[in-house]
Amino acid sequence: MEYLSSILLLVLTFILTQAVYSRITGSTKPKYKLPPGPYPLPIIGNILSLGQKPHKSLAKLAKVHGPIMSLKLGQVTTIVISSPDMAKEVLLTHDNSLSNRVIPQALEVHDLHKHSITFQPISPLWRNLRKICKDQLFSNKSLDTSQDLRREKMRELVDEIHCCGLAGEVVDLGKITFKTAINMLSNTVFSVDLVHSQGSAGDFRETVMRLLEDTGKPNMADFFPALRRLDPQGIKSRNSFSIGKMLEILGGLIDQRVKLRQLQGFDNNMDMLNTLLNIAHGNNQDMNPAEIGHLSVTLFAAGTDTITSTLEWAMAELLRNENAMSKVKQEMEQIIGKGKLVEESDVARLPYLQAVLKETFRLHPLVPLLIPRKANETVEISGYTIPKDATILVNQWAMGRNSSVWENAELFSPERFVGSEIDIKGHHYQLTPFGGGRRICLGMPLAIRTLYLMLGSLINCFNWRLEDGLTIDDIDMEDKFGLTLVKAQPMRLIPHKISN
């Protein structure tokens, strides 16, 4: 209904404006050769083909039109990539020309669009922010230093789950791990816990999930720039609320630190917040506490629910595949010992655990179309033209399930990665859950460490079973589309602590 009414609205607006516009300019047909694609309807183009699950609809269209296709989404030419070869063209060969981003209308609130690393075009500001984060926050050295803090959070989580188990309570995996994920990130960035109770973690989680869903939804205001101010689906106003809430919470933390610094002068704890405040203090890079707040919103939106949703998918697949579950348990029992926490440095010695995570990303890429890129100049890929300003989507979900790329593509089988050189760090184009090239996920080093630490420890410290009366056939694997592809139904499980 929401779609229909907004489409009706824009049809009315556009029949008028288009008619006037083409009369003034005379309609010009482009001379270049776009990739093939479905035939566009007048004005709305192929918007109706997206449906509620664009990753699936686009995968179906690729079966007809091939691994590089073009769609017209309202006024936006959109190129959709669905094979490893074509992904390599985008993420490697033409990375320089295809690395801009479009700022979604949904994020033009609270000035976020001016400071979000994720949606800035390639610019001095983007370079600066990336460099600061990369050097200060996500370098091996900083991450090694902060790992004690993350281990401590993991220990607290294990204790908390243990208590639930003793009380015979059912655990909502996504919910209970969220508090840990958020505090791991806040300890890494700010050296403090951001949330103290499951209640406030739950509020934060709802906010992040709503933000990611709304930001990733097809938005008429992006397809028809003239609708940007009208906000036909109400997405921007919902986002304004979500982002306002996050800014309030994160801003509070930043203000606290600013006050502390005024009292104590600079302290020598060089966490990211102090580094950013020092830059702001030196005042040569145009950053003030409010802008640091915006950066923090970006990091917390990108770096919390992505982790817990991946854990949910991994656990769902492992419970459905008892063989894989017992193998991964056996590996950890042998290498690090029964019932123990996994250390970040153990991972190199746990090839099957690594294979489990890769296989989870293959079937459930958390960011199914990557974050849309934009061409800053016209380029040619395998004989087709990608015009300047086109949007480029790389359909990870389609590649992960393509039977020409993977044997038994629908089957969850970590074995396929055992002894294979394919990793997930952006160089093997059949599996790039973190993207690739200049725009590769900034938080990847932290994300990978956190995922192994949490997934490994959850498996090695507990036996998990479904609620009474349910069998593995009852596990609902339906997904929900947004910027991220999350599990539609929560994983509700009963833990049983394994003693060491």
Which residues in this chain contact ligand NAG in the complex, by CB under 6 A?
59, 62-63, 66-67, 82-85, 96-97, 122, 140, 376-377, 398, 402, 404-405
Rule CB under 6 A: is residue 370 a binding residue for ligand HEM? yes
Continuous segment of H or E residues that includes residue 11: helix 2-25
Smaller CB separation from ligand NAG, 58 or 367: 58
Among 223, 429, 434, 481, binds ligand HEM (CB under 6 A): 434
The single residue among 69, 446, 458, 485 that binds ligand HEM, judged by CB under 6 A, is: 446
Nearest to 318, CA basis, from 337, 331, 302: 331
Contact partner at residue 310 from ligand HEM, ligand NAG, none, CB < 5 to 8 Å by partner kind: ligand HEM
Q: Does 183 bind ligand HEM (CB under 6 A)?
A: no
Q: Which is nearer to ligand HEM, 133 or 461 (CB)?
A: 133
* Residue among 10, 86, 371, 431 that touches ligand HEM (CB under 6 A): 371
CB 354 within 8 A of CB 418: no
Supply the minimum distance, in Å, between the C-beta of residue 307 and ligand HEM: 5
Residue placing its CB nearer to ligand NAG in the complex, 307 or 398? 398
Q: Is 334 exposed, middle or buried (0-12, 13-18, 19+ CB in 10 A)?
A: exposed
Q: Output phi, psi for 381, to 5 deg.
A: -125, 125
Interaction of residue 440 with ligand HEM, rule CB under 6 A: yes
Binding-residue pattern over the window 292 to 331 for ligand HEM, x denoting contact by CB under 6 A: ------xx--xx--xx--x---------------------
Round to whole Å and give the CA distance between 214 and 326.
38
Residue 439 binds which of ligand NAG, ligand HEM, none (CB < 5-8 A, kind-dependent)? ligand HEM
The Cα–Cα gap between 262 and 412 comes to 55
CA dihedral 58, 62, 67, 71 (to 10 degrees): -60
Q: Does residue number 45 form part of the binding site for ligand HEM (CB under 6 A)? A: no
Q: Which is nearer to ligand NAG, 25 or 140 (CB)?
A: 140
Least distance between ligand HEM and beta carbon 220 (Å): 23
Of 165, 232, 251, 435, the one binding ligand HEM (CB under 6 A) is 435
Shortest Å, Cβ 292 to ligand NAG: 25
Helix or strand or coil: residue 401? coil
Q: Which two tokens stand for residue 388?
A: 């300047």
Query: With contacts defined by CB under 6 A, how many residues of the chain interact with ligand HEM?
Result: 27
Calpha distance 308→175 (Å, rounded): 8
- Residue 76 or 87 with smaller CB distance to ligand HEM: 87
Rounded CA separation 329/217 (Å): 38
Query: Near ligand HEM by CB under 6 A, which window of 33-41, 49-57, 207-215, 437-445?
Result: 437-445
For residues 307 and 431, which CB has a smaller minimum distance to ligand HEM in the complex?
Answer: 307
Half-sphere exposure of 259 (CA within 13 A, CB side): 6
Nearest to 184 by CA among 268, 73, 275, 306: 306
We find the least distance from the C-beta atom of residue 338 to ligand HEM, in angstroms, to be: 27
**Which residue in 441, 458, 485, 491 binds ligand HEM (CB under 6 A)?**
441
Q: Which two three-digit tokens encode residue 309?
A: 């949703």
Q: Which residues contact 207 (CB under 8 A, 6 or more apart)?
A: 242, 245, 246
d(CA 49, CA 78): 13
Binding status of residue 79 toward ligand HEM by CB under 6 A: no
Q: What Cα–Cα distance (Å) separates residue 218 from each residue in 55, 221, 297, 358? A: 12, 9, 22, 28
Positions 94 through 133 that interact with ligand HEM (CB under 6 A): 117-118, 130
Would you say 79 and 97 are in contact if contact means Cβ atoms under 8 Å apart? no
Q: Which residue ranges make up the site for ligand HEM (CB under 6 A)?
A: 117-118, 130, 185, 298-299, 302-303, 306-307, 310, 366-367, 370-371, 373, 433-436, 439-443, 446-447
